[in-house]
């Protein structure tokens, strides 16, 4: 039995035996982000709010930096009950809960106000609830900004500039279709391999939000950043239903209220981080390009049409978002 397996076994035992050992409960929360990330700061607010609301009866033990595995691996740990809570990208979650695919449609959201109105309204909450049948109950969304292209040698000013370029994307069909529709060559790749891949020319660039662009140090090897904001894919705070169902109604209420409060706090952390990140990128010599977004939106319209054709059951959900 290796170290990681042994560690997870102790987590599993602790997760379900803590009620018997003490009046207090400890929830294990694992995620892949560094502790400097604004979403991690939002998670700290969740930890603090839950401690206050429960009077210390519900504690959160956080394992950041991918200590317990990748996003997919941690989701699987939630499903079997070894870990209670995690934070994952809605793109990763879409491989488990299909409805999250809708949130990755290019240019789905008109602006930031529309984005939050959808996520915090009836539609967003309905998507959070869809995960329960897959043992992954959504608690809240965290702002993860908008994703834009960055490249090593060639500036992207119009969609035509992407022609023939190998662009790293998440292993997500929507992201792959989006880059290909723009004329690029979508290249799924592990995030941890990306810095070296750009540096060595294995790929020509990638796409992500400003805090990730800077915190990953990708700005060191990519000197063009095109703020086309093609997708706004939120992060999601998830609790495993195996753990959720062990809780009383009062405990569930504390957790939900703490999650909602942390989501509002995280918005401010995110906005501040974007400002700092953009400043650092500019100071390091990265050229910031503000393109005509409608050119990119027009070229990716086919992605939405293809999605609706292949997923007729979700067309109503898309229409609800667009009409809001």
Domains, the chain, with CATH or none: 3-144+234-274 (3.40.190.170), 147-232+285-323 (3.40.190.170)
For 122-125, the CB contacts below 8 A with 24+ separation are: 123/317, 123/320, 123/321, 123/324
Opening angle at CA 269, ends 111 and 297, nearest 5: 25
CA distance 228 to 296: 7
Q: Which of 280, 171, 159, 266 is nearest to 218 (CA)?
A: 280
Burial environment of residue 138 by CB neighbours within 10 A (0 to 12, 13 to 18, 19 or more): buried
Please report the pLDDT score of residue 215 as a whole number: 87
Please report the pLDDT score of residue 267 as a whole number: 97
Please report the pLDDT score of residue 269 as a whole number: 97
| Mean pLDDT in residue range 20-48 | 88
| Mean pLDDT in residue range 202-224 | 95
Q: Which of 18-32, 66-80, 93-107 has the lowest mean pLDDT?
A: 18-32
Please report the pLDDT score of residue 7 as a whole number: 52
Structure token pair of residue 309: 């054709």
The answer on pLDDT for 102 being more than 80 is yes
Please report the pLDDT score of residue 133 as a whole number: 95
- pTM, two decimal places: 0.88
Decide the pairing of beta strands 287-289 and 205-208.
Answer: unpaired
Please report the pLDDT score of residue 191 as a whole number: 84
CA distance 295 to 300: 9
What average pLDDT does the structure give for the chain?
92
3-state DSSP helix/strand/coil % of the chain, to nearest 5: 55, 20, 30
Helix (H) or strand (E) holding 37: none
Q: How confident is the model at residue 117 (pLDDT cuts 50, 70, 90)?
A: very high
* Higher pLDDT pick, 172 / 322: 322
Q: Using CA atoms of 216, 217, 218, 221 in order, give the dihedral in degrees to the nearest 10.
A: -160
| Mean pLDDT in residue range 154-183 | 95
Q: Which of 5-9, 46-50, 235-239, 296-300 has the lowest mean pLDDT?
A: 5-9
Burial environment of residue 201 by CB neighbours within 10 A (0 to 12, 13 to 18, 19 or more): exposed
Structure token pair of residue 102: 């809708």
If DSSP codes are grouped into helix, strand and coil, which group holds residue 322?
Answer: helix
If DSSP codes are grouped into helix, strand and coil, which group holds residue 73?
Answer: helix
Spatial CB neighbours of 179, under 8 Å, sequence gap ≥ 6:
162, 167, 169, 185, 186, 207
Helix (H) or strand (E) holding 119: helix 112-119
Spatial CB neighbours of 116, under 8 Å, sequence gap ≥ 6:
143, 267
* Higher pLDDT pick, 86 / 13: 86
| Mean pLDDT in residue range 292-311 | 95
Structure token pair of residue 313: 């059951």
Is residue 261 within 8 Å of 156, Cβ to Cβ? no
Q: How confident is the model at residue 11 (pLDDT cuts 50, 70, 90)?
A: low
Q: Which residues pair with 62 in a beta bridge?
A: 29
CA distance 122 to 134: 20
Question: First-to-last CA distance in the chain?
Answer: 52
Decide the pairing of beta strands 205-208 and 235-240.
Answer: unpaired
**Secondary structure letter of residue 133 according to DSSP:** G
Please report the pLDDT score of residue 18 as a whole number: 42
Please report the pLDDT score of residue 20 as a whole number: 39
| Mean pLDDT in residue range 96-120 | 96
**Secondary structure letter of residue 122 according to DSSP:** H
CA distance 230 to 181: 12
The answer on pLDDT for 13 being more than 80 is no
The answer on pLDDT for 21 being more than 80 is no
| Mean pLDDT in residue range 58-87 | 95
């Amino acid at each position: 039995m290796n170290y990681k397996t042994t560690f997870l076994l102790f987590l599993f035992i602790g997760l379900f035996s803590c009620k018997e050992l003490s009046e207090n409960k400890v929830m294990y929360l694992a995620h892949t982000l560094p502790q400097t990330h604004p979403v991690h700061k939002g998670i700290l607010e969740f930890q603090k709010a839950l401690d206050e609301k429960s009077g210390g009866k519900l504690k959160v033990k956080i394992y950041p930096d991918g200590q317990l595995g990748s996003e997919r691996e941690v989701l699987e740990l939630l499903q079997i009950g070894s870990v209670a809570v995690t934070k994952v990208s809605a793109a990763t979650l879409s491989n488990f809960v299909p409805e999250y695919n809708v949130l990755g449609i290019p240019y789905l959201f008109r602006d930031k106000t529309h984005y939050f109105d959808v996520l915090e309204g009836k539609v967003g909450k309905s998507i959070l609830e869809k995960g329960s049948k897959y043992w992954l109950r959504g608690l809240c969304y965290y702002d993860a900004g908008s994703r834009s292209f960055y490249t090593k040698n060639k500036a992207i000013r119009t969609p035509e500039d992407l022609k023939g370029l190998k662009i790293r994307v998440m292993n997500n069909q929507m992201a792959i279709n989006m880059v290909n529709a723009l004329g690029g060559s979508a290249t799924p790749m592990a995030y941890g391999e990306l810095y070296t891949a750009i540096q060595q020319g294995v790929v020509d660039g990638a796409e992500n939000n400003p805090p990730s662009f800077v915190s990953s140090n990708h700005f060191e090897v990519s000197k063009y950043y095109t703020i086309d904001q093609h997708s706004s894919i939120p992060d999601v705070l998830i609790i495993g239903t195996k753990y959720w169902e062990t809780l009383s109604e009062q405990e569930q209420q504390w957790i939900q209220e703490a999650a909602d409060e942390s989501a509002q706090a995280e918005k401010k952390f995110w906005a501040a981080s974007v400002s700092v990140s953009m400043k650092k990128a500019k100071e390091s010599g990265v050229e910031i390009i503000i393109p005509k977004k409608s050119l990119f939106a027009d070229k990716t319209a086919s992605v939405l049409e293809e999605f609706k054709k292949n997923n007729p059951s979700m067309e109503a959900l898309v229409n609800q978002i667009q009409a809001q």
